[in-house]
Amino acid sequence: MSDLRALAAEAYVYGYPMVFNLDQADRFTHAGLGLVPPAPFNTLAHGTEPAGPWDSFPGVADDTVHSVAQLDLSGGPLLLTVPDTADRYYVLRFVDAWTNNFAYVGRRATGTAAGSFLLTGPGWSGEVPAGTTRIACPTAVASLVGRWACAGPEDRAATTALQRATRLEPYAPGSGGERAAPLAGLPFSDPDVTDGTLMFFEKLRVRMAAFPPAPVDTAYQRRFEPLGLLAPSSPYRSPESELADALREGFAEGSERVEYAATHAEGPEQNGWRLAYHAFDYNADFFGTGVLTGPEWTVTDRDAARLLRAAAARTDLWGGHGYEAAYAMIWNDADGEPLEGRHTYTLRFEQPPPVDAFWSLTMYDLPEYHLVGNPLDRYAIGDRTPGLRRAADGSLTLHLRTGRPESEEAAANWLPAPPGRFRPVLRLYQPRPALLDGGYVLPAIRRAT
């Protein structure tokens, strides 16, 4: 019994990212994501407005607008065309069913000139059109997650035009552009599995079969045969009591393990900032367009990578590598005390964070991790915020507090905070080496006296 329970907990950690990911992919097709409306598979949907406190998605960013498509390549390749963005920052990330970031298109990865990309599924063989870059998707179902820099309300029309000029359409030479085959979609779980915990393992069973991972992980999956995860039909409709108890207990144990890893992740810190620059380095198998393959971006310990992947899915599903956008988050001030709205704080940058695109600091409340409503409708502040006041020496001091500062200079640099506890997140797009290797140190948030 204990061996089965431990194996079930291991299977939960392994399978949670894919089960949760594909649940969200399916949900997106009929419910959308925040301000991005729903769309069927192989259709781009665009959010033309930045997020706000009305958005219930935890940790949503306010500094970009989003485009999302759920891809199903079982019916044949898709042709993606992107317009010239005239050096505007954007990124289109490709995430497979197992949540591996396997390709990037955008300012850092492919430049900002117009281009075309052929998205192909596993086992595809054919001719790639001239002038088109092939992106081979490891699984037949994948997610395309796009972010476009938007500098504010006056910039939205230009950003929306770029989104609408981005095309995703079937590619089937010689068939008049029609899809070569019907879409397989997501595999169906056995509806006779009525226990919610057992349904998790049922989803994992059918999805493991439909979306094989890298060969090394395919071999790893064999260890889960005693749990019924390799069975051709569902063993979870009326399982033996010993198996059912082991699965339920393993589910609880695995869930606790993922939650702990998500909230107690080990990693470097600078002046109270937790640096999440390497939270997505678990992909060690699929290196497509725009993916960096250096050892500093790859976790080779498979067990550590599986837990890292589960924690990343739990806290920031569809997030990306730190070399594209580096994130840092903070809970406490320079004295180690929790950040709370009853105090006032300053954050002073002697030199701006070294980035090739832009940076922003976003305010979130706790524990919901939502954007904070305020009279300014300002949910983030950064190098693109109009009217920022810098000192004569070039330094920039931001003011984090609930009430408007009395001086105009401080008010120009004010990021409103909630009355309770809060958690700012610093996002750094196209970070330079000095930021990633520790040559540049983020300053502490200090409580004002």
Give φ, ψ of 414 to 5 degrees.
Answer: -90, 130
Three-class SS of residue 124?
coil
CA neighbor of 238 nearest in space, from 290, 283, 202, 282:
202
Residue-wise pLDDT tens digits, 144-182: 999 999 887 888 899 999 999 999 999 976 544 444 568
How do the domains of the chain map onto residue ranges? 1-254, 269-447
Count the neighbouring beta carbons within 10 Å of the beta carbon of residue 216. 10
Q: Which are the contacts of 138, defined by CB distance < 8 A and separation ≥ 6? A: 96, 98, 100, 102, 122, 213, 214, 285, 286
1-254 against 269-447: fold identical:
no
Q: Is 58 helix (H, G, I), strand (E, B) or coil?
A: coil
Sign (positive/negative) of CA torsion 249, 255, 261, 263? negative
* pLDDT tens per residue across span 74-86: 999 999 999 999 9
List, for residues 406-447, the tens digit of each pLDDT value.
999 999 999 999 999 999 999 999 999 999 999 999 999 999
Topology classification of domain 1-254? Immunoglobulin-like (2.60.40)
Burial of 131 (0-12, 13-18, 19+ CB in 10 A): exposed
Tokens of 4: 């089965």
Q: Quick one: pLDDT at residue 178?
A: 45
Any idea which architecture 269-447 has in CATH?
Sandwich (2.60)
Split at pLDDT 50, 70, 90, the class of 63 is confident
Q: What is the average per-residue pLDDT within 317-337?
A: 94
Distance between CA atoms of residues 133 and 105, nearest Å: 10
Tell how strand 101-106 and strand 90-96 pair up.
Answer: antiparallel
Residue pair 35/46 in contact (Cβ under 8 Å)? The answer is: no
Please report the pLDDT score of residue 38 as a whole number: 96
Confidence of residue 2 (pLDDT cuts 50, 70, 90): low
